Amino acid sequence: MQKPKLDAAGRTTIPLEPSAFSESFPHLWEYLTHERYSDDNSLRLTSTLLIFVDAGVLKACFNDRDNNRSFFSSAATFEKLLEEIESRISNDTAEWKTKTSRPNGSDKIPW
């Protein structure tokens, strides 16, 4: 076991390594893990993926935090759900919803 490393902001970091997941879902992996844009090397907030079951249906909320937008997907299996998200991202067919700001600024989540 190794001691966790801290980044400049004092957060624990875990080195991310390529895996079968990153090979199967390269665009999803990029959104979730890359902290810089490839075209100009500018910093970006990584995206988040929330997976849940609602009324017996497997669903996901994909949140592109850096661009203040999200989309939802659903599928019968976990694998199909990830394939659907990867397809929407890679083919630019996601039905993005832009988030609206709350007047009191409570939509600013620090993670």
The backbone region for 7, taken as left when phi is positive above 0, alpha when psi lies in -120 to 50, beta otherwise, is beta
The rounded mean pLDDT for the chain is 87
| Cα 87 to Cα 92: distance, rounded to the nearest angstrom | 8
Q: Per-residue pLDDT averaged across 80-93, rounded?
A: 97
What are the boundaries of each domain within the chain? 21-93
Q: Taking Cα atoms as reference points, which of 92, 85, 108, 80 lies closest to residue 28?
A: 85
Find the length of the chain: 111
Q: Taking Cα atoms as reference points, which of 96, 54, 59 lies closest to residue 81?
A: 59
For the whole model, what pTM was predicted? 0.77
Give the pLDDT band of residue 96 (cuts 50, 70, 90): very high
pLDDT at 8 over 80: no
pLDDT at 73 over 50: yes
